[in-house]
Amino acid sequence: MSINLASRVNCNQSLQTDFHVGSRIIIQPEHLSSACQHLAYATGEITKIQGTSAAILLDELSDRPYKPHIVHLELSWLVLAESSQLESNQGEETVANNYPILKIDPEFKNLIPPLSSEEKLQLQANLKEFGCLDPLIVWLGQDILLDGHNRYEICMTEQIPYKIVEIDLPNKQAAISWIANHQLGRRNITPETASYLRGKRYLHLKGDRSDNLKQNSPNGKNFLSVDVAKSLAEQYKVSDRTIRNDANFTSALDTLAQSLGEELKHYILTRTAGLNKKDILSLAKVAGDEGKEEAQRLLDNQLAKGDIVQQIKDKQRIPNPRHLGEVCQIVAKGDPELKQFSGCWCIILKVNLHSCAVRMWKMDLEAVKPENLEPMDGVYQDKAAQNCDRLRRLADKIYQDFEPTHAAVLEALSRISDPSSLTSKQDRILSFLENEYNLLD
């Protein structure tokens, strides 16, 4: 398997002679700190070069939280704007940022657990704030998306630039195996999803004759020289019997998806449907032997409700325990998109049924789950809110004329243990910055 780093970008970053005063550049995100991620993929013009660094006058963009100003960055963090355009085939449809339209294979997409509406809103907010930092994975030569379907959809809608990594795969079976294996490497999948993906890999590897050398036995029958179940069992640290049971579960779930819809499959994989594996195997057998109507009738009887999808949608959840104005600390467990904010304190602005909108020192987050908000006991809410407003006003000023040292101070103050009670040193530093930016009354 060969990997071709794409955006299909030709980055001659090591040659300083490529850059000169007046060069148009794009800032790359790889070396930027979390406080500087708002500069990712920003464009501008080099005004001065000194050694291995350059002064850049940033362009004014409507979707960026700053006005045109000078920043000083290493040349290795930059690429020439004219060399970062994608090579597009003649007549190929493109979006405004010159990136090709990728193809979506429904079978590939349905291997990936969908995001909830709240998770998708949070992803959209992060992409708009920080850009698409991780590349999309694409099948080389086919332009079919393998990983990053949610990010791609949002990037296309919001016109957010993205990069791609192209992977060379021999056939569709190999592509499905790659997607399954890639998803299995993630921490936040349910046991049902892991079982389904292991089963998917087994079925495709077992069915791909090129992956299983065959020999003829003395009685003339063929047998597989590679025990696929044993090989996968060793890889995933389970028994070969588990792998074969996974394959039965996968086949049953695909049968139900074909008969009763993909939505049901996703509810089962996310543990929302309340069905166990025995139920699923029984339903799939009925769907295969007696048809969709009988399977739906049996399903209705098991759940004592007429429609499975409505039953799932109507399922009661624990009420949101958070309240307006509460001071909480963000905990990233189960949500990788919150990792960059882990440990930051925030003020709850709005309490929704299953999420909260919160205010932080730098930005607002529209949809944070209650389990990702840890109450900070003993904190005076009014004083914490006042300090949050002070940090927010400073952040708005600092990021207009970016100063890394000042941003680092705000980052540190965003993670203090009691945001309602600053130490004397912390308050002096904050007052000094407010004076620097003419924010003192």
* Domain CATH code at residue 49: 2.30.30.70
Please state the φ and ψ torsions of residue 146, each to the nearest 5 degrees.
-105, -35
Same domain assignment for residues 351 and 408: yes
Give the three-state DSSP class for 310: helix
Judge whether 418 lies within some domain. Answer: yes
Judge whether 42 lies within some domain. Answer: yes
DSSP state of 306: S
Q: Say what the pLDDT of residue 210 is.
A: 41
Same domain assignment for residues 10 and 153: no
Q: Say what the pLDDT of residue 288 is.
A: 85
Distance in angstroms (rounded) separating the CA atoms of residues 255 and 258: 5
Q: Which of 267, 299, 314 is the last residue of a domain?
A: 314
The neighbouring-strand residues paired with 48 are 55
Q: Say what the pLDDT of residue 248 is.
A: 92
Distance in angstroms (rounded) separating the CA atoms of residues 286 and 301: 13
The neighbouring-strand residues paired with 345 are 329
Average pLDDT of adjacent 10-residue blocks, the chain of 441 residues = 36 50 79 65 81 80 59 80 41 43 86 77 88 88 90 86 87 86 75 88 71 42 61 84 90 88 81 78 86 81 53 56 90 86 92 88 88 88 90 86 86 92 93 89 65
Same domain assignment for residues 270 and 214: yes
Q: Say what the pLDDT of residue 303 is.
A: 62
The total number of structural domains that make up the chain: 3
R_g of the chain computed on alpha carbons: 27
Which of 346, 438, 441, 358 is CA-nearest to residue 398?
Answer: 438
DSSP state of 198: H
Same domain assignment for residues 296 and 407: no
Distance in angstroms (rounded) separating the CA atoms of residues 412 and 123: 25
**Which domain does 435 fall in, by range?**
317-441
Judge whether 115 lies within some domain. Answer: yes
Judge whether 96 lies within some domain. Answer: no
Which of 117, 116, 114, 180 is CA-nearest to residue 146?
Answer: 180
Same domain assignment for residues 218 and 168: yes
Judge whether 101 lies within some domain. Answer: no
Beta strands in 59-203 (DSSP E): 70-74, 78-80, 136-139, 144-147, 164-167
Same domain assignment for residues 196 and 125: yes
Q: Which of 314, 343, 368 is the last residue of a domain?
A: 314
Same domain assignment for residues 188 and 309: yes
Q: Taking the alpha carbons of 269, 117, 106, 131 in that order, is the dihedral positive or negative? A: negative
Judge whether 100 lies within some domain. Answer: no
Q: Say what the pLDDT of residue 87 is.
A: 36
Cβ neighbours for 144, distance < 8 A, ≥ 6 positions apart: 102, 103, 104, 105, 108, 138, 175
Same domain assignment for residues 114 and 71: no
Judge whether 296 lies within some domain. Answer: yes
Q: Say what the pLDDT of residue 309 is.
A: 47
Same domain assignment for residues 112 and 246: yes
Same domain assignment for residues 189 and 268: yes
pTM of the model: 0.46
Q: Say what the pLDDT of residue 67 is.
A: 58
Same domain assignment for residues 322 and 245: no
Q: Say what the pLDDT of residue 219 is.
A: 45
Same domain assignment for residues 10 and 22: yes
Q: Say what the pLDDT of residue 431 is.
A: 92
Give the three-state DSSP class for 379: coil
Q: Say what the pLDDT of residue 413 is.
A: 94
Cβ neighbours for 159, distance < 8 A, ≥ 6 positions apart: 95, 96, 97
Judge whether 61 lies within some domain. Answer: yes
Q: Which of 270, 294, 314 is the last residue of a domain?
A: 314
